[in-house]
Amino acid sequence: MDLGDAVTALVGVVTLINLVLAVGIVRRLREHSTRLSRLTSPFGEGTPTMLPPGQAPGPFSATTIDGETVSLDAVADGALVAFLAADCRPCQEETPAFVDRAAAMPGGRSRVLVVVAGASHRDEYVARLSPFARVVMEPDGGPVTAAFAVRSYPSFAQVGHDGIVTATGHRVADLPAPALT
């Protein structure tokens, strides 16, 4: 074996080691991406996303994109409420499930409220959600978000006929299926 063959073999070994390390890094990044997309709360597992079940939201008043004024009375009749941030990837991932739930909601659009916080990508939410829900645009920490004590996005709530929150979660699947009334 001459010097040229030895150098070629060494380059081949180094290239193979580099390839194995690169594949390991890519696999690890995919695992971390999956874990991050499944996080239920930036505050830790089990931390409430918003006002806990058994409590009533505080008073609020907001205007929908259609010019309708909504207040606590609008959700006190058994409403489905969603809080989405305009630039939130988990919010975008939950939107199809929310649209399905909103479409199946007894009472239709009048019993579904969506609050979109943030400034960018709002039109996408409006186009997808407005046929099934009343949509309110507000800045982070706006009046509806504050009334429900929302801590992270996405957050979903089911409100009972008495205006008391009955269920909350970061995923639509965290809420019970709507009762057919």
Do 66 and 148 lie in one domain? The reply is yes
Do 156 and 100 lie in one domain? The reply is yes
Residue 82 pLDDT exceeds 90: yes
Mean pLDDT value of segment 69-89: 86
pTM listed for this prediction: 0.72
Domain that holds residue 170: 61-174
Residue 117 pLDDT exceeds 70: yes
Residue type, 44: G
Lowest-confidence region among 26-30, 65-69, 152-156, 162-166: 26-30
Decide: helix, strand or coil at residue 141.
coil
Do 31 and 104 lie in one domain? The reply is no
- pLDDT tens sequence across 61-75: 999 999 999 998 888
What mean pLDDT is reported for the chain? 84
Whether 53 maps to a domain, the answer reads no
pLDDT of the residue at 67: 92
Do 33 and 71 lie in one domain? The reply is no
Do 33 and 79 lie in one domain? The reply is no
Do 29 and 65 lie in one domain? The reply is no
Q: How many Å apart are CA 117 and CA 155, to the nearest integer?
A: 12
3-state secondary structure 62-119: EEECCCCEEEHHHHCCCCEEEEEECCCHHHHHHHHHHHHHHHCCCCHHHHEEEEEECC
- pLDDT tens sequence across 30-73: 777 666 554 444 444 455 678 899 999 999 999 999 999 999 88
pLDDT > 70 fraction of the chain, expressed in percent and rounded: 87
Burial of 111 (0-12, 13-18, 19+ CB in 10 A): buried
